[in-house]
Structures are given as C-alpha cells and as structure tokens.
Structure 1
C-alpha cells in the first residue's frame, strides 16, 4: 500500500496519458519493487483530439463526454502499470482541460476560448490546497511534475507545474491548514525530462531505418525544441527497460489519444525497448544521491533517501 511503503513517489500530471508518456516505465518499475506510487491528474482531458473515428461523438463540440471516457482509459493504463492509487485533483470534474492551440513558433499556448472552470483559470491557492491534502496523506519523499514551461507550453502542463511546486511549499508549512494533517516536507522534487542525446539517438535510428515522417522536421544534428533538455541539465535516469511492455500497454490504453503507429511506438520500434525504458529527470529540490553511472546521473529517484 502507498501509505505503508518505505519509499513513496507522487506524480502530478495535467491530463490522462501524460503520465504514461513521461514516466510510465518508472512507475511500473517502482510498483514492482514495492514502492508506493500515487498519481494525481489535474483534468480529465476533455478537450483532447479523438483518434478513434467511432468515438468522435464524444468530442467537446458534440456530446462533450470525452472526459468520462478518458477516465476509463486512465484506469486501464494504471492497471497496466500496476498503480492502484490514482486521483483527480479536487475530485473528478473539479478542473476541466483548458485546450490549446499552436503558436507560430511551434509551442503550445492557451486556446482562444476557455471553459469557465478550465484548469488554466484555476485559483492557484485553491488548487494547491487540494494537493496539499494528498501530500500530507501520502507523505511522499519524491515528487515528479513538469518543468516551468510544461515541456512544450501546454497551459495545463504549466499550471500543473505551478500547483505542484506551490503545494509542496504549503504542505511543508506547519501553520498552513492544520486541518489537512501534519506538515510534510518533500525531500526531492524532479521535473520530467528528455535528454537531447537520447532524442538525437532515437531520431538517427529512425532516419537510418527510413522513417522520415515521425517527428517530422526534427534534425538529429540540428536545433531541437525546448522540451528536450541539454545533457548537463539532466541529473537522473531511471533504467526501467524491463518494464517497457507495461508502459506500451498503458499507452495503448489511452486509445483516443495515442495510436500504435504514432511517434512513441515508432520510436520504440526503431530504438529498441531498452532505450525506450530510459526515463530522465532534472532534480530541482533536494540533494542528489550516490550513483555508479559514468555520466554522473542518479539511477534511482530515491537515491540518498533511507528506506
């Protein structure tokens, strides 16, 4: 159980499928090792595109039932990863997917029309307080969320970052909302990342295999989007290659959003399962633990934490 495991990890994500894409293999590995894994998802992804033609009626501009469907997809994905503790921030339906559009510079920005209870419009203290309650209940030593740009600029990713970082501060303050439980200071906070060297290796392998359309426009030797981090920024890499099939099963569960012939599966097919199970992180709070890795990266997010 999460509350009794010696090591406890909390992940904060914006929409169903973000967790499987970013840290699915790490989550499966830690569950298998008996570590506690708790996922908090901030919205149900109501504004997502629908890749399954027969489900297009669920779209926001039609029946507006995609969120409920994606709730089921998330449950299936968590079953694939073995995660039993997954929650929606403030309860299901509290915050709605804000949607997005693409900026001319190639990153996401807020959509022109945003629903009244969109997560992007959430009161920061209110949303963070919902998460404080979870932090004080679960008492995780490690928190994982997005960087300040949300990876590629999605407003909900940026808001999830803000909420997670603020909640971590509030949860550690004994004077804040004593009714939510005893204060808890999270020892280590990481932002999920993809190292430049790893994506360049993947792109080279795909191009060598004749795949010129996946991640079209990205040059293995050229400038990369800001979602990919310089190797000197990376501080940890979890090798969860043994759990890649569970990660892929979780991705398949998010069928309205991810197709088996999409970029993630193309990357896996061309680079190989082992590489697809290497997930990188940037430590932004706490002290890096010991590592045997030649590149100086931690190999365990709980490195240096007694358990």
Structure 2
C-alpha cells in the first residue's frame, strides 16, 4: 500500500513508542497515513513487573527480548500500525542496560556493555545507520521522530538511537552514498519527542491535590523537573490525539512486563484525564514549521508539506 504521507519513528526499546507517541501513531494510522516504527533493541535488560515471568530475565533464561517482541506486536495491533521492524533485524542489537547517576539521570551499565559486544551502545555508528538508511530509502518518509541528543533522560540506547537516526537521515539524502541501499531520500522534517513543562507541572499538581504523593515520587510541581521535560518555549508542535488515548493506553498495557496499570502512567491518566496522554509534544530539529495553531504550535507534523513528496 502506498501512502501520500509517511511517518518514521526510531525508538530504542519496545514500549518507548507507546509511551512517547502512541496516540499520534494511532491517530495517523486511523487517518490513513503511513506509520513505520523501527525499534533498535528488544529490551533484553528491562525490569520484569510480572512475577511469573521473572525467569525471562537476563541473569536467568535471558528470553525477555523474545517476549517483548510479542508484546510489541500486540501493542502495534492496538495502535493499528502494521509496519514495525527491528533495526538490522531482530537480535542484531541488544539492550545496553542502564544505571542511575547520582544526578538523577540514566547512564550505561558498564558490565552489560562489556559483556555483550552487540550491545547497542557498542554499535558501529555507520553500520547501524546503514540499516536505517535502507529503511528510509524504502519507506521514503516525509517526517522522522526520534529522541533528543540526551535520549530524554540519558539512557545509552536512547542516545544511540538519536545518533543513528540523525546520521542515517543525513546519509540517506546523499545521492552518491551506498546506491545499493536504494535511491536517495531527504527527510523534510525531523522532530524530537518532548514533554511540555506546563503540562507536566499541571499533571503533578493534580496528582498531589488528589493525595497521590508516590506517583513520580520526589517531583515537586513547583520545583526542578527531570531532563525529559522541555520548556514550553522550545516546543514546536503538539498533536491532539485525545480521541485515540484508549488505544494508546491499550498499547501500553500490552507491554505488561514493563508497565503496570497501577503505575505512574496510568495514575497520571486517571487523575488528569485523556489530555494527560492524548496531547503529544515535539521539538523540531530539521525543516520549517507549517501552519500554527492558536497556541503558536503546529498541530500536524506534516504541516507545510505537499502530499506525495
């Protein structure tokens, strides 16, 4: 099937896509726009929240990646997305693991990175980018969505996904580069997923007013916020997909080993409503903004682009 408008998302692990842009993905898929997801690892080092599946952990049977592959497929079915792939094919790159820095952001797990040569953090940048170049030239998306340079909160795989996506987008546009990977294609607009500071503060305030002091524990509605929160002045676009929130939440539920229904994401949704997860924000990294809405933000990632480009 050929779509006039095509969106490519590059994420690090299964579940990142549903949390970050699940509503946008569902909205665009429902509107008949092309949506392609590339996931860079299978999330083999993820925490397991289902007790009866703890044997899948990396230090036991090491089969979590296989299980999360099925969770991802179920989540994509909920979102209506049929084109989802693993970078280089399933198992090419492994979750690099993470630890927490004393400053509150994620860092790589040196033991995992040293033990597994195919940990995504160890990936040769050009080799990994070439896998994505082939996808870009095949799909020919007008819009790419990935993380910012810090990967939102410092996870090494998120940072690597940003690097790979950025480099691949550049290489894919060069007519003389790797002609065997397809005809050159220049992605018109690139966005970094973001979270609005004002929305995050409002959500936290609603939680605290409702007596919830444990969800996003330690975050003060009026205090410093984590690295993944962006100042509103840095935002370029917001996609209102509140009509598709239930599909996003269903996709999040499909990632059962990683997301629990009594966890912070669902607590926020229960206390703030559909707007908590139905409005998804973006920073623009390449291209010119199109028509702006009343709040000065684009309301469509394809704004300003001619169809079929």
Is TM > 0.5 for Structure 1 vs Structure 2?
A: yes
Equivalence for 2:297: 297
Structure 1 position 188, deviation (Å): 0.1
Matched position secondary structure for 1:189: strand
Equivalence for 1:79: 77
Contact kept? 1:43, 1:96, Cα under 8 Å? yes
Instruction: Describe how 1:18-29 pairs up with structure 2 within 5 A.
Output: 18-29=16-27
**Could you list the runs of 4 or more consecutive aligned residues of structure 1 that deviate by over 4 angstroms after TM superposition?**
none
Matched position secondary structure for 1:179: helix
Structure 2: give runs of 5+ residues left out of the alignment: none
Instruction: Describe how 1:161-180 pairs up with structure 2 within 5 A.
Output: 161-180=162-181
Equivalence for 1:14: 12
Structure 1 position 276, deviation (Å): 1.9
The question of 1:275 aligning with 2:276 is answered yes
Matched position secondary structure for 1:144: strand
Structure 1: give runs of 5+ residues left out of the alignment: none
Equivalence for 1:146: 147
Equivalence for 2:206: 205
Residues in 1 aligned to 2:170 and 2:286: alpha-carbon distance in whole angstroms:
11
Contact kept? 1:242, 1:274, Cα under 8 Å? no
- Equivalent residue pairs, number: 304
Residue in structure 2 matching 1:64, options 62, 65, 89: 62
Query: TM-score of the superposition, structure 2-length normalised?
Result: 0.98
Residues in 1 aligned to 2:110 and 2:227: alpha-carbon distance in whole angstroms:
23
Matched position secondary structure for 2:175: coil
Residues in 2 aligned to 1:272 and 1:48: alpha-carbon distance in whole angstroms:
28
Residues in 1 aligned to 2:224 and 2:12: alpha-carbon distance in whole angstroms:
27
Equivalence for 1:236: 237
Residues in 2 aligned to 1:10 and 1:55: alpha-carbon distance in whole angstroms:
32
Residues in 2 aligned to 1:65 and 1:86: alpha-carbon distance in whole angstroms:
20
Matched position secondary structure for 1:165: helix
Equivalence for 2:158: 157
Equivalence for 2:253: 252
Equivalence for 2:104: 106
Deviations 1:247-272 (A, max 9, x none): 00000000000000011000100110
Contact kept? 2:268, 2:276, Cα under 8 Å? no
Residues in 1 aligned to 2:212 and 2:240: alpha-carbon distance in whole angstroms:
26
Query: TM-score of the superposition, structure 1-length normalised?
Result: 0.98
- Of 223-232 and 17-26, deviating more is 223-232
Structure 1 position 306, deviation (Å): 1.2
Structure 1 position 275, deviation (Å): 3.4
